[in-house]
A = this chain, B = another copy of it.
Amino acid sequence: MAPRSIDRESDLKSEQSGPQTPGGEAPRYVRIQRILQDRIAQGRYAVGSLMPTEIELSEEFATSRFTIRSALRNLMQDGYVERRQGMGTRVLTANPTTGYYQSFESLQELFQIAVETYLVVLGSEDVVLDAEIAKRIGGDDGPVRAGERWILFESVRWTAPGGRPLSFIQSYVPERFRDHTSAFADHNGPFFDLLETRSQETIIEAQQEIRAMPMPQHVARAIGLREGALSLQLTRRYLTARGILIASVNWHPADKMIYRTRVRRRQSRD
């Protein structure tokens, strides 16, 4: 059996008193958890080594195995240690990555696609990709090659029927989804949503690129702006296990669009 850090000194005042005297502060398993955490931080329990066993710890802290297990369970959930039956409790790291995260219920939420808007499909055509468009659709190292045939939809999103134009959208769909595109004309929500449902392929990843650029002529004309007007361009790719489900390029008038992100530190539970 692998060597094990042995430690018998007691950091916890023994508190001769009855079973659950809280000592005025945190419960016992929390205090023990903190002590163990400190020992890991100070290197007393080296990263990669095995910690004392539950029995040893319960003897050291003069407590039950139950209480030690509660402390160790929290350490495990916080990413400090790994526990394996028959093997023991191994120290993984002294600085568990808390990090930051951003999470969403849906991709609509992520991409801040307003639901209360109206989509008008201008038309669609088959296109053969040139090198630039292929790169735009597939990303820098994507699987999309120049010369492939894709279906291009162009549409405009409005605040309301007869309201203000919000954005111009080009959507590129692989040929294998041709049968599913008939529903695009009547659809108001984002196409990726419709396509994910109808194709039965689950989106596992989404990518987005944001650029500032002047609006090309035919884009500007479609939403009633002059050529070269300032725009925020959002390129999005939706990937399934089988490849790209759909890619879109959105132009927003610069003065009407702000893209917002908010991330929080992952809670570290103590």
Contacts and interface: CB of A to CB of B under 8 A. Distances in A.
A97 interface: yes
Given A207-B262, A209-B258, A211-B254, A100 B99 contact: no
| Secondary structure type dominating chain A contacts | strand
Interface string A69-107: 000000000000000000000000000010111111111
Contacts of A106: 99-100
A2 interface: no
Interface in A165-200: none
A148 interface: no
Nearest to A105: B99
Contact of A261 (B208, B258, B260, B262): B208
Interface string A204-222: 1111111111100000000
Nearest to A207: B262
Interface string A228-258: 0011100000000000000000000010011
Given A209-B259, A210-B210, A259-B209, A265 B204 contact: yes
A107 B100 contact: yes
Given A99-B104, A104-B99, A212-B231, A207 B260 contact: yes
B210 A265 contact: no
Q: What are the 8 A-B residue pairs with the smallest beta carbon separation, nearest first?
A: A212-B212, A212-B254, A101-B103, A210-B259, A212-B232, A208-B261, A102-B102, A100-B104
